[in-house]
Structure 1
């Protein structure tokens, strides 16, 4: 169909309700424009007209024809006047998208020449939409969201007001559709209408408005609960949000799901369901995780079935999750449970060694720590945990100035390692050299030992500096990035100059005192302890540690 036929036939087809001026469309859009335009203008059902409007938008947007689409919308005059607010919204939405496109493509000539006109369109057309929509109309929420996004992106003074209006309108909307849901036949539609609440929450979360997003997610989850959704479908919803990385919403829905199944499932099946949820949120190097939520579910399992509900792998998973969440005292208790219940576990050497580390360097109880190192020291062969335990026992004796005993442990380590050059072997060699030459223990290491074991440093509770690794289960020779973040009180206008005394299992790295982070690799498997003492102009300020498991 040529442009002239469009000009003549279309107005006749829609009884004059679609006015076309001197502007005409290219033939590429003629068919879509005619059919969808007719659908919009003649349709008595608003939802169907809106669907055609969205399809028409896609037809133009795919080729970035934003202004052409706006011109078309301004010349549409639908018979059903309830569609008019949608036209206003889509004009504003197109201008917003046009801004994004010009920024991405660096179309600065049009951006600056037409920018004020486009901004006026966004404000004016969203205003029209808001004036014409009721509290329970999703379009009202989308209009509020659009104007908030616009002001937020512009970083102007209207952002806070737009955010407040958005939250108020969304809460009013939630209340309005909640009242609709009280009417039996409308319950399914009311449930469907909660989707705009989720979309607003998603967008707020992307703008880092976490508290407000969480508030709306809870409302959305409550809407699902109040619907006729089955337990299985509710679980699938939660799992879907988890896979999308929306952990806040996934947790809200899982909480509701757990509340439901707790009333109907037998204990064994309930524990099985909870175990799957806890495992999904537990620590893992890749994928989504929330260690706090995982422990919350582990506690729920314990409430229902006691510690007897935990098998070997579940005990280990819980302890490992607590450890990676820096809940070392609780992790120690779980590890002790594994040692007691499953002395032949494949994890026994790892958790025994970690228990020794936690007693020694977290709880400041070297005597208790030695007991666990001693359990491993006589293991046959070059077991990495046996070698590390011998090193720790030698280190404690060297720090106590019992050099003869320390030397014996280090030599035993070297003998058991069959002189294979590993990280632990090299550290033992360094300590033996210090003893042979009568020199002090390496400065950073001694400072870490002092701050971890001397009573005078008991106030250093690891709260002012946190260590993190990009991965906690690296393979041998895999690069590991270790960083620190501080939480020190403000010192006015001046930046506090800090020194970072790194020590312990640093692998092949030798980070300097001015490095808050470093990269390393490890030559052998086993648990590696990363120690840090923070020095400020006032002296020793804090200490911290982290544990990495080379696999």
Structure 2
């Protein structure tokens, strides 16, 4: 055995060796980190070089393109080509704030004989200065703007007057010039309105002479962006009228119309769809094809429940037109349901009831009649206060559709109506039937929870829960005073899947004036889903864990008591509706 001294030396040597190894490892790690940093820096440098190279190439290409455009402009004999080239050249110079350079080039063109009788050069000089001031303002280049604004404004005034003197014909350039004049003078309200009127009149004259009307749409688009909606609509109407006179075929017209829908120009799309439908009705020899195309248009604008309708009232207009031209026999069960549902979502309840009844009468084998009977019951009682008729619809669901998702719902509302009428024995009978059925089908849905609360109220001789009682009073109790505020409730979306969010939003306004109202108390009741306490909120979001139709109630309460109440329904699915 070695001495203690030898062991100590060995131990110390081990420590030194370990320290040395650690030092080497740390040093290697440090070098690896340094190499990685250098590599990362090199990558960034190469990327920057690549980016700069691409930018230089683009700049070189644009410079070559600008020089070519200048040559073409000077040598071109067709003013139409020159206008397009000047527009492209302005875009190139505008990217780098080289407006002064372009303006100087335009000044050299003033001396060219071919431009002396046209406002083209002066139009572009005015447009250049106007665009330059816009660019400086948008990019907050205040110093350059303030130092040169007087000069730029003076240039626009002089060039605009010269352009106007030379603008003697009604052509596309004259429309652009008049629009540019409005842009320069829009801050002066009186002058602005007069200029817009002149623009509209000039547009009408132009449309009578020319077939190329793209410029009208372009200016209408620009006015729309400037929030001049009324004048934009006027120009769009001129555009649509001209389109209807042209020989554009149906397919081109359809594509054009759908492009306006994609651009969210609903009013313009509707105007063109009217033209499109007229063409179909008057020229399509196959009636079934004409009908299907009309339904396709209607359903583009109708509420689906999954999404809000683009214009549900226009959808109903098309549905009415189909019925008028081809009779109710043109409707399938599905299209009849979609028509009725669109009216429901539009809060057109009288028409909605009529169309749902047509669905039941004309399509006795319709597979979702239970849902329709339930909806008829809800609307009859909570919209029209027709309790006796309502009970018939709910009893129809209970007697004929025991497996329906609306079976328990129908029993609940039958019980609730009896409860409200103080027929507690009958109410208890309906409520207990719900609990017995719930045990059989092993469900603990929200309607079961609500039923248990109603039974407890009866057993403990308590009033119906306050919010629900206020709703029933608002909808079922006769009131002598005139209703002066209208309350509306919207589910968004009105159809969704299990556990997906549904937002309920109210809208209230004075009936006579249309002014919005918000200084009231909101009392919610019904099937509130996962959000059981939306206290005094004008809107709330929730979700549902069981399938079927959910009925939500809200009451508006003011200082003098109940003002109005309303209902809304949301439908919850496992899978998307076919």
Q: Common fold, TM-score beyond 0.5?
A: yes
Mapping of 1:4-153 within 5 angstroms?
A: 30-77=63-110, 78-81=112-115, 85-134=119-168, 136-149=170-183
Counterparts of 1:414 and 1:69 in 2: how far apart (Å)? 83
Give the TM-score, by structure 1 length. Answer: 0.83
Q: 1:277 to 1:426 in 2, by over 3 A?
A: same
Per-residue deviation at 1:127? 4.2
Aligned to 2:311: 290
Aligned to 2:523: 501
Per-residue deviation at 1:303? 0.6
3-state SS in 1 of match to 2:256: helix
Counterparts of 1:539 and 1:326 in 2: how far apart (Å)? 25
Q: Is the 8 A contact 2:552 2:569 kept in 1?
A: yes
Q: Alignment RMSD, CA only?
A: 3.0
Per-residue deviation at 1:296? 0.6
3-state SS in 2 of match to 1:87: helix
Q: Is the 8 A contact 1:281 1:290 kept in 2?
A: yes
Out of 421, 428, 438, which is 1:417 matched to? Answer: 438
Aligned to 1:255: 274
Q: 1:544 to 1:107 in 2, by over 3 A?
A: farther
Aligned to 1:361: 382
Q: 1:100 to 1:406 in 2, by over 3 A?
A: farther
Q: Is the 8 A contact 1:350 1:385 kept in 2?
A: yes
3-state SS in 2 of match to 1:486: strand
Per-residue deviation at 1:360? 0.9
Per-residue deviation at 1:498? 1.5
Per-residue deviation at 1:355? 1.0
Aligned to 1:202: 221
Gaps of 5+ in 1: 1-25, 181-189
Counterparts of 2:277 and 2:333 in 1: how far apart (Å)? 24
Gaps of 5+ in 2: 1-58, 574-578
**Residue 268 in structure 1 maps to residue 302 in structure 2:** no
1:19-60 CA distance string (max 9 Å, x none): xxxxxxx97764333321122233221111011112212222
Per-residue deviation at 1:357? 0.9
Aligned to 2:414: 393
Q: Is the 8 A contact 1:387 1:424 kept in 2?
A: yes
**Residue 278 in structure 1 maps to residue 298 in structure 2:** yes
Based on CA coordinates, which of the two structures has the bigger radius of gyration? 2
Counterparts of 1:99 and 1:420 in 2: how far apart (Å)? 69
Q: 1:160 to 1:475 in 2, by over 3 A?
A: farther
Q: 470-479 vs 87-96, which deviates more?
A: 87-96
Q: 1:83 to 1:338 in 2, by over 3 A?
A: farther
- Give the number of aligned pairs: 509
Aligned to 1:532: 554
Give the TM-score, by structure 2 length. Answer: 0.80
Mapping of 1:137-536 within 5 angstroms?
A: 137-149=171-183, 156=187, 158-159=188-189, 161-178=191-208, 180=209, 190-192=210-212, 194-266=213-285, 267-284=287-304, 285-286=306-307, 289-378=310-399, 383-418=404-439, 419-456=442-479, 459-460=482-483, 464-488=486-510, 497-510=519-532, 514-536=536-558
Q: Is the 8 A contact 1:46 1:82 kept in 2?
A: no
Per-residue deviation at 1:420? 2.9
